[in-house]
Amino acid sequence: MSERFPIVILAGGMGTRVAKVANGLPKALIPIAGEPFIAHQLRLLRQHQFEHVVLCTGYGGDALQAFVGDGSQFGLSVSYAQDGKTLRGTGGALCAALPALPEYFFVMYGDSYLRCNYAAIQNTYETSGKLGLMTIYKNNNQFDSSNVEYDGGKIICYSKKNKTAAMRYIDYGLNIFSKAAFASLARAQGNLLSFDLSLLHEYLVKTNELAAFEVTERFYEIGSVAGLTEFKQELISKPF
């Protein structure tokens, strides 16, 4: 069995949609069931054999680092990549973390809680020969607007802005990338200082370099008040 790739958590966002319940805290530190959200997230990752985490931080980054520390309280090794005063977007923040990463790594968002088979996802990526992998969920616009057209084991189209009726799946919020994916995008696009990660997804779909893994477990997120409420209920029913 392959050693688990490290995972990058993009946790630099302002959390404007949950600002009224966050009381000035970054989303990752919003208390849920007596603990900051990040504690639940990191504990889940450790249960799935992750060892190394890189937290990309921005708003509230100092407070987040003060709570998580080196990660040892969660059985993890945690390092940090600060976004600084100028926010770079999810893609730019990830680029800033690349020097601290090996060739292959997972990426997830700081407001997501994903109960899925991480080992199977990594195995699919390793056998795909692609530069990246996107996990997808057959959403049918249920939990959010579907943004992926998927057929025959292949992502046909992905777009956060231009939705079509053929898009029945949604980006689940967990990816694997190689550093080569960013190098390829840079050759095609130029400056990568500030951009949304969706730009990389769209580029990899266009160049047939994005593998897919269909997840059957639904996702949970705390990026909205409704999502936050739903996740609290999920923890009560399934605490581990």
Nearest C-alpha neighbor of 109 from the set 41, 209, 188, 18 = 41
**Domain boundaries along the sequence of the chain:** 7-237
Determine the pLDDT at residue 18.
Answer: 81
Contacts of 135 (CB under 8 A, 6+ apart): 116, 121, 171, 172, 173, 174, 175, 212, 213, 214, 215
Beta bridge partners of 150: 155
Percent of residues in the chain assigned helix, strand, coil, to nearest 5: 35, 25, 35
Determine the pLDDT at residue 240.
Answer: 55
Q: Which CATH superfamily is domain 7-237 in?
A: Spore Coat Polysaccharide Biosynthesis Protein SpsA; Chain A (3.90.550.10)
Backbone angles phi, psi at 199, to 5 degrees: -60, -40
Is the distance from CB of 133 to CB of 124 less than 8 angstroms? yes
Is the distance from CB of 136 to CB of 156 less than 8 angstroms? no
The whole-angstrom separation of Cα 206 and Cα 212 is: 14
| CA triple 207-208-213, angle to 5 deg | 140
Average pLDDT for consecutive 10-residue bins of the chain (240 residues)? 90 80 87 94 97 94 96 98 80 91 97 96 98 96 90 94 92 97 93 88 97 95 90 79
The whole-angstrom separation of Cα 154 and Cα 156 is: 6
Determine the pLDDT at residue 45.
Answer: 98
Determine the pLDDT at residue 87.
Answer: 72
Determine the pLDDT at residue 94.
Answer: 93
Determine the pLDDT at residue 43.
Answer: 97
Predicted TM-score (pTM) of the model is: 0.94
The whole-angstrom separation of Cα 56 and Cα 36 is: 17
The whole-angstrom separation of Cα 146 and Cα 39 is: 29
Place of tokens 């053929």: 166
Determine the pLDDT at residue 61.
Answer: 92
Determine the pLDDT at residue 17.
Answer: 83
The whole-angstrom separation of Cα 124 and Cα 135 is: 10
Determine the pLDDT at residue 20.
Answer: 80
Distance of CA 21 to the CA centre of its chain: 22
